[in-house]
Structure 1
Amino acid sequence: MSISSEGLMLLKAYDKEQEEEADWLAGTLLLPREALVDIRRQGMSDDEVTAEYGVSKRMYTYRVSMTGLNRQFRQR
């Protein structure tokens, strides 16, 4: 741990597992599955999704992949 010039405590090392859990939680909170289903039904483009929800394309792609949304909509 170190202290910045502003007096903030900063970690020098991060636990990889905790960082992955934080990424998962952030994605879940920003793009819940119900929102992804609604996005797909509306036919929104990637650019529209990233602008509307304030997420990166990478996060959107990750969430779609992790929720199995593509498989669900392919079977319809």
Structure 2
Amino acid sequence: MPSTAGFVKKHVTDLACETRVELGLSPFDRLDPHALAEHLAIPVRKLSELRDENPRAAEYFLSRDPGAFSGVTVFYGTERIIIYNDAHSPARQASNICHELGHGLLLHNPTPAVDGSGCREWDQVMEDQAQWMAGALLIHEVGLVTALRRGKDVGDIARRYGTSKDMVTWRINMTGAYRRARQPARK
């Protein structure tokens, strides 16, 4: 019997592939996170757009410590909106947005941002699922294995999919893509 983690990864991967198909994307096409957000009817806003509403917080996360905030899904009843840090590179922004969209695609329930003592609430299982979803949405496994078979390097693949080299390396490692690329292609 497959492990629970393996089953969840397969489910998430299948959902990501189905979502890419809904958008008319092949395994080799770059996914536009904003187009996916529009398809899912989830508004997406840049952190810099919130400067007027909360200038101190926006300034802190955009300039002083941009690594401290990547993105968040904010709920209002059954509606959600994604706020992402536009001080990050475009590749990182794509990953951040897809991570938050992953929460939506996986129908994760809202949780409080902080607990009663002011500490951040964190559900590692949900975060891992959303991260797996982001990777699967951005870099299709078939496209990844095919690119490696064709001799493309991490930088080539990152440019094709609009992701960071770190994301490509993570997907290669997590999917066993190098091993699979060395195997004969199925006919």
TM-score relative to the length of structure 2: 0.33
Unaligned runs of 5+ in 2: 1-49, 55-73, 76-111, 115-120
Q: Is 1:39 aligned to 2:147, yes or no? A: yes
Q: Is 1:59 aligned to 2:167, yes or no? A: yes
Over the aligned positions, Cα root-mean-square deviation in angstroms equals: 2.8
Name the % identity: 36
Aligned counterpart, 1:30: 138
Q: 1:75 to 1:54 in 2, by over 3 A?
A: same
TM-score relative to the length of structure 1: 0.71
Secondary structure class of the residue paired with 1:43: coil
| Structure-2 separation of matches of 1:6 and 1:22 | 28
| Structure-2 separation of matches of 1:33 and 1:75 | 14
Unaligned runs of 5+ in 1: none
Query: 1 or 2, which has the higher helix percentage?
Result: 1
| Structure-1 separation of matches of 2:159 and 2:183 | 28
| Structure-1 separation of matches of 2:129 and 2:180 | 25
Cα deviations across residues 57-76 of structure 1 (Å, max 9, x unaligned)?
Answer: 22111111122222223455
* Number of equivalences: 73
